[in-house]
Amino acid sequence: MAEPPGAAAEEAWGKVDAAYGDNGPEPALFMDGARKGSVVSRANSIGSTSASSVPNTDDEDSDYTQEHYKESYKDQRRRAHTQAEQKRRDAIKKGYDDLQAIVPTCQQQDFSIGSQKLSKAIILQKTIDYIQFLHKEKKKQEEEVSTLRKDVMALKIMKVNYEQIVKAHQDNPNEGKDQVSDQVKFNVFQGIMDSLFESFNASISVTSFQELSACVFSWIEEHCKPHTLRDIVIGVLHQVKSQLY
């Protein structure tokens, strides 16, 4: 049967009165309270220690993610640098292989090194020598082309002159009837040569071949100028004309 509420209250007050009555507090009550407080304090301490010892998983996951990202970024940069360096080395090797295939002197066997593979220094030196050779050949060919162009220009001028002569002869077919005889032509040529020989004989020394050569060149430069030859030819023509008429 359930105990009345009044009886429970009286029993509780009875315990309090017994503990704090005239005879003083009951030691057993304090022992029981101390024991309970110690248990509560120890439980709180254990709970606090346990709570502090539990790792913060969110912070550690964040730190791990950052470290992993740093390591991954470093690996990516290292791989990219390695790939770039390998591409550079491959490009250099391909360049040397192309030079060795293009430059003819690199393909010729050098008996001083036998069948060994050509070093990079030898390939570069042979390439430089070949480029210099090509520059010389180019300059030589340019000079030859310039000479040929001058020859072509001279031939074109001669062609135009001959065409004019032919055209003049066709326009005046009777012009050649009063031609000068071969004897007269020879007299003109002989007069020109005699006049040149006079100055030539006066200027030439034959003591040695070297001196003769030097005198010939000097005579040509001095007595074979265009205006000098023109004056000689005009004088000879006047002389021959006076003999004929």
Tokens found for residue 26: 């009951």
Please answer whether residues 222 and 203 qualify as being in contact, where contact means their C-beta atoms are separated by less than 8 angstroms: yes
CA dist 131 and 44 (Å) reads 92
Q: Where are the domains of the chain?
A: 68-109+116-171, 182-244
Rounded to two decimals, the pTM is 0.36
**Which pLDDT tens digit goes with each residue over 87-140?**
999 998 898 888 888 888 887 665 555 567 788 888 888 889 989 999 999 999
**Which pLDDT tens digit goes with each residue over 36-74?**
455 445 545 545 444 444 454 555 556 556 666 666 888
**Which pLDDT tens digit goes with each residue over 175-185?**
656 677 888 88
The answer regarding whether domain 68-109+116-171 maps to CATH 4.10.280.10 reads yes
